[in-house]
Structure 1
Amino acid sequence: MKRMIMGTVFLIAGIAHFLKPGKFTGITPGFMPFKTFIVYLTGLLEFVFGVLLFLDRTRNWQLNGMQKFLWTVFPANVYMYTHQEKLGLEKYPKWALLGRLPLQQLMVDMLEDMKKQQ
């Protein structure tokens, strides 16, 4: 079940990077170079992660990579919360943007559980 949930999350997020790249470049912190490239690269990685999880073809090193990836993109979630108005995200309640932060840990924990089951 965790594989399906995580696979779905990664697939949807990955596809969204390609359908709406401007939204993702907008939430990329200002200090990051090559924003468009980063958006497409992270979208591709998320898509591949989703496929691997659905096919149940992951190894521990891949799950480790997914965990590291989640922490790598974590600053974008913090940036969304701390720069809500600047990014034009007023339509989202502040608590929803804040709620994304612990969600990252939950996803890392789910991947950790998958590693233990292998």
Structure 2
Amino acid sequence: MARTVLALAYGIAGAAHLARPGGFVAITPDWVPEPELVVALTGAAEIAGAIGLMIPPLRKAAGIGLALYALCVWPANFHHALSDIGLNGVHLSWWYHGPRLALQPIIIWWALWASGVTDWPLGRED
């Protein structure tokens, strides 16, 4: 169940990156080259990881890839929060940013656990 929920979340997020990249481009730090291309590639990576989670021979590789992905996009989340970047004219408060930043390590763990890379601390998902 946890694997399916994670795969759905990443699939939806990946589709959003591809369908509506503007908000993702807006929160991309200035030091990232070609932000439009990076956002498109990250959307494709999310979709590929979501699919990979559901295919047993690819599951562990997908989990590692999604965990690394979540780690690599964390700077964009910090940039979004610390620079107070508004999306469609809406500035989000720390009630949004705080939990989002704090939950990123859990999302990283979730990808590793749901894919069977680790069984700590809950045992196996299967």
**TM-score in terms of structure 1 length:** 0.86
Q: Distance in 2 between matches of 1:56 and 1:92?
A: 38
User: Unaligned 5+ residue runs, structure 1?
Assistant: none
- Going by fraction, where is helix more abundant, 1 or 2? 1
Residues 44-77 of structure 1, C-alpha deviations (whole Å, 9 max, x = no match): 0001111222445533233222211110011011
- 1:19-58 aligned within 5 A: 19-58=19-58
The 2-side partners of 1:35 and 1:46 are apart by 16
CA distance in 1: counterparts of 2:43 and 2:57, whole angstroms: 20
1:30 aligned counterpart, secondary structure: coil
Equivalenced residue count is 116
Q: 2:14, 2:42 within 8 Å by CA — same for their partners in 1?
A: yes
Aligned identity (percent) is 28
Structure 1 equivalent of residue 15 of structure 2:
15
Amino acid across the alignment from 1:29: P
Deviations 1:11-32, CA, capped at 9 Å, x for gaps: 1110001111111110101111
TM-score, normalised to structure 2, is 0.81
**Aligned residue in 2 for 1:63:** 63
Could you tell me which runs of 5 or more consecutive residues in structure 2 were left unpaired when the two chains were aligned.
none
What secondary structure does 2:58 align onto? Answer: coil
Seen in structure 2, the aligned counterparts of structure 1 residues 92 and 67 have a Cα distance that, compared at 3 Å, is same
CA contact (8 A) 2:52 2:59 kept: no
Partner of 1:75: 75
SS in 2 for 1:58: helix
Distance change in 2, residues 1:74/1:40 (3 Å): same
RMSD value over aligned CA atoms? 1.8
Which residue of structure 2 aligns with residue 112 of structure 1? 112
Mapped contact 1:13–1:43 kept (Cα < 8 A): yes
